[in-house]
Structure 1
């Protein structure tokens, strides 16, 4: 049975990250094998997203901060990275578009989700190496 869009959304939004020893899970560390791209201030990692997604990525700050607490430089970086990342993903043959979403703010760490459904007629996951290397053209290090 295929889930409706509403059911998929409810499952995504309802997902909880476990606390690690009472710490913010993001500050406690991202599994190194899941990092796609990183720089001094940001980490982009892949997540186990819904089966109908070609890519499920999480962009987060290295430093524990919240939206509204970002200084102007970090906020500006976020805008540039998000715009570039969306363009990169939307130009992959495996994806049709990108949804950018922020939820889970109650956890207190700035992070934003990038979900890209499969392009029509495709069932191939997005090429994480292509995403990483193209994003690294502007700085940072490709890890995938």
Structure 2
């Protein structure tokens, strides 16, 4: 059984974890190609990637500041939830996309990022309308860039 003082110390280390800063070593912190940015605000960047041919959209949402999953403060975590929810609703209402898979992989890179993959809707083969995604997301704040 864990002693109370030991449990409190573990809890304090977890809650007090500091965001790791790796200037110049993290490719995400080094920047995203500006021509790939769909939407951005002070804390977040949404960019498109070259995804598989059967995808209407392959998007990557990441923090501007170097951080990891589990280290988001309450405000960033809340923003992530709102942005993700809105983004899924926007994409799923486009005629090009069937649904959205939200996925996290590549955690070994050490930067908070989440993927949004939208397969084509039946009978569709064109890419999702990035300017529409950007404009609708910007209705809640941030800047449309696509």
TM-score range, shorter chain: 0.7 to 0.9
Does residue 97 of the first structure (1) align with residue 99 of the second (2)? yes
Deviation at 1:136, TM superposition (A): 0.1
Q: In the alignment, what sits opposite 2:21?
A: none
Q: How does 1:93-132 map to 2 (within 5 A)?
A: 93-132=95-134
Give unmatched runs, 5+ long, in structure 1: 1-21
Separation (CA, whole Å) in 2 of partners of 1:25 and 1:48: 17
For 2:55, the equivalent position in structure 1 comes to 53
- The offset of 1:119, in angstroms, is 0.4
2:136 — aligned with what? 134
How many equivalent residue pairs? 124
Largest Rg, 1 or 2: 2
Q: CA deviation at 1:124?
A: 0.7
CA distance in 2, matches of 1:105, 1:114: 15
Distance, in Å, in 2 between the alignment partners of 1:116 and 1:23 is 31
Moved over 6 A (4+): none
Q: 2:89 aligns with which of 65, 77, 87?
A: 87
* Structure 2, gaps ≥5 residues long: 1-23
Hey, what's the Cα distance between the residues in 2 that align with 1:42 and 1:65? 12
Counterpart secondary structure, 1:132: helix
The equivalent residue for 1:75 is: 77
**Aligned-CA RMSD value:** 1.1
Cα offset for 1:24? 1.1
Q: Which residue of 1 aligns with 2:37?
A: 35
